[in-house]
Structure 1
Amino acid sequence: MDFDQQRYYLDTIEKKHPETVYFHFHDSAHGPNEWSNEKKVITFARALNLLPGISYSQDGRGEPVITYGGTTYRTTDSGVTIDIHEGTRTIDPTTYEVQHNDNFWVRITTKSATATTSGDNTRTGKLVFDVNNRRLNFEGSNYEQAGTEQFQFRDDDNPYTWFNTGEPVTLATALNTIPSIEYSQESKKGHVIQYDAGEKFGGTYRSSTGGTEIIIRQRTADVNPEQYQLRNGDLIWVYVHTDQAPDNEH
């Protein structure tokens, strides 16, 4: 879901709920869905419960229970899975404390959602792409129009959701479909990512360069984009960070 909306901004909700200063969003963030934590260290469970329309708890067995948009999801319900990650690692929101530069991911999958995408030979998943503390938002006509029949983003208010129809494509093919991004590999030297976004964020990043880190994973497993074919439900994580990255204040 997209938190770059007025209803989640601090200046909208703080007067009625002052505690939201502990975890909120605002329109002057460095990138899409970038959160802020001020004044007090809190668990991620409390952070979720500070967001309008969202609640998090655990049942008697310690399994997650999430309510969103009036619907409650439990892993004890048939066909429901709930995955909660910071970066590529699974966390327990009730004990994990929000930290500087954390990247959170909450995914709820239902049996009906899986059936909808698999029946027409369509795979769908998420792509989280961070470059020097800036998360790319794949919402907008330039991303939607650049897609192919095999790999595309859609105008559905889910800026990180991709669709792969027909034959599976490799992750490298998918990345090279995206405007402003080019992916390749240097012989025995690792990943090369070219990101065209101006002087501040753009450039060519090589994992072989000192001070540069490039991580590409499907959930917690490292993958080779030139060999890995996208699968239904994939959570792809591309993380590029250099010594010159601007500080993320949140």
Structure 2
Amino acid sequence: MTFRHVGVALMVALLVVSAGCSGMGGGGQDTPTESGASNGTTTAGGLSDTTTASETQSATTNDTANETTTAGEGTNDTSEDNSSNASEHDHSSHDHGNETTSESDSSDKYLSGEMTVVVGDDRLEYPSGSEDAGFWFTDQHKIWNAKTDGEVTLAEALAQFDVEASADSFSYDGETYAESDSGVSVDYRVNGQSVDPQEYVLQDGDEIWVTVETPDMERSVPGDHIDHEYSHIHGSIDFTVNGKTLDFSKDKYQTAGHSRYFHFEGGHADPWHAHSYSVTLQYAMATLQGLSVAEGEVTYNGTTYSDSDADTNVQVMVNGEEVDPSEYFLKDGDEVEIVVESES
């Protein structure tokens, strides 16, 4: 190799090293230009290339604030998620809490409702019972209680009265009353519905009415009043005269100034309310202005319609069966229907 060649090689090497340093230096200059924009360059968006230090600080602060806001929004999202999760967690915890309470205090949990048992003229006294028996009464206002860890049938509940109950008979105090006996009526009603006491399992809030009527009973009418805050008797009525149905929602049939033993209330025609188990259908209708009902006879607005008249048909029915209104005592859930059709 000649000195000329060596000199050329040295010059090329120096040029390469110089270019490499320049490239590194250019890379180092990018950061202040981007971050401070203090070199007066104009961005593609056309913003001023003369940004002051304060503007730079403001812009940086705003960017930071925006980033903070974005982070905050992220935090809010997370917070909402956490809130949602917390809510779900609380709900879940609440459920588990209830389950735990239910499991730990199961002996203190019970069902309750009201019960009235009437045999002939008398309402049976409430036995005290005990929790050990799984069914008991708590006070004089016919409040029954039953444990939740076992099923109690109505027949089992009535056994606390020393009663043996079946679908069509009722045995108490050494005497058995059967539906097959003349003039005897045995009714088991729960929330207004007829039930078989041996099959029906008590539910929380049940209002129970058990009534036994005999041909020789002498109930006084309207009997002992039951205060409105305690379980009393309800039902429906459809009263029609020559195709016109009476509207019992009218003021003259409502509670104000009306009988406390039988009435409608709250501006409603359904249900009717009877505040005694000794209210006959005849007594109930006589409390309503312009009405009276007897066996085969209805009086409405001063006109008496008799089933004995050739051109008149009078039907007084309860639950689809004709009754003598002077002898029929209203029961919970009764559907009363009185129909008069006359050509006169």
Task: Calculate the TM-score normalised by the size of structure 1.
Answer: 0.46
- Larger fraction in strand: 1
| TM-score (structure 2 length as normaliser) | 0.35
**Higher RCO (CA-CA < 8 Å; seq separation 6+):** 1
Higher helix share: 2
